[in-house]
Structure 1
Amino acid sequence: MSPKPPPLHVNIVVSIEAGGWGDPGELEMLVHRTTESVLVDLDLCSPSPTELGVTFTDDAAIRALNAEWRGKDKATNVLSFPAFAQVGEGVVPPMLGDIVIAFETVEREATLEGKPFDHHLTHLVAHGLLHLLGYDHENDEEAEEMERVERRVLSALAIPDPYAVTDEG
């Protein structure tokens, strides 16, 4: 039996383009902590590192991206842009891709759902990363699997189930 490859290492580039995101160091820590939680949960291993870009922007920028790449002329909370179309199951490409997150939408949703901003943001980073890793929610079965992973990842970070119905949301 061959030895298991080492845990996957991800080189992460975080950039802030626009919005009221606050302390860049805190954003970087949140992205690194969330990424590590996803990788541990999925038990991803690879002999070579991969790359991930995370861009924090505003509603205007994400609306333009959403219109250009998805044909939807509206702001959204998170977009994921995989670097490679389809990779085999368990295969981690040399570059995962990019995640783009919009400040105003995240802030509005967190307020409406009665969630701490950082909890909602952590969920969206995990959600975006799972898309880059091949997860989707186009049908009920896919959505249930993706939500199961999100719940486990967030639970490991001491963040309540984002899908639970509460008095606030």
Structure 2
Amino acid sequence: MIGDEIARAVASKAPEAGPMAAALALLDHEPGLSIRTLSAGVGLSHAGTVRLVDRLVSEGLIERRGHADDGRAVSLYLTPTGQQACAAVLEARGEVLASSLDVLSADEIAILAELSQRVLRSRLRDSDHSYRICRLCQHDACTNCPIDAELKERVEGSAG
């Protein structure tokens, strides 16, 4: 139910419904994403993501730049207009979450946060999946990201 409310709220602030809001949020969090990584985050095929990127570029929300290490690859960045659109999307998401959780006490929110972190960590498949899980996160507010912690733990576990 809350997910549906978030989807409606962010769609009302994004220039179009669908994965555009998630694309803006992901590019805000990680400027320079490739189309392949963005595709994993927004859940579209490569061709669908290319069409989404074309629309975002035509709307003046993102720009393509050459990749620093791979001349064939393209890096994606928000424009100032894209940053404003992203801020509106994330604000709408935050408003839904705040109004949904305002019935809980501070202690209850702490318990919910702990349980949610455990569930998120257990559901993570791989680093590409992390982009899908975190596609509408407000990353500057997520100071102790359970997904980043799980990815780091897995890397350290496989190295040792």
Structure whose residues are more often helix by fraction? 2
Structure whose residues are more often strand by fraction? 1
The question of a shared fold, defined as TM-score above 0.5 by the shorter chain, is answered with no
Q: Radius of gyration: which is bigger?
A: 2
How does the TM-score come out when normalised to structure 2?
0.32
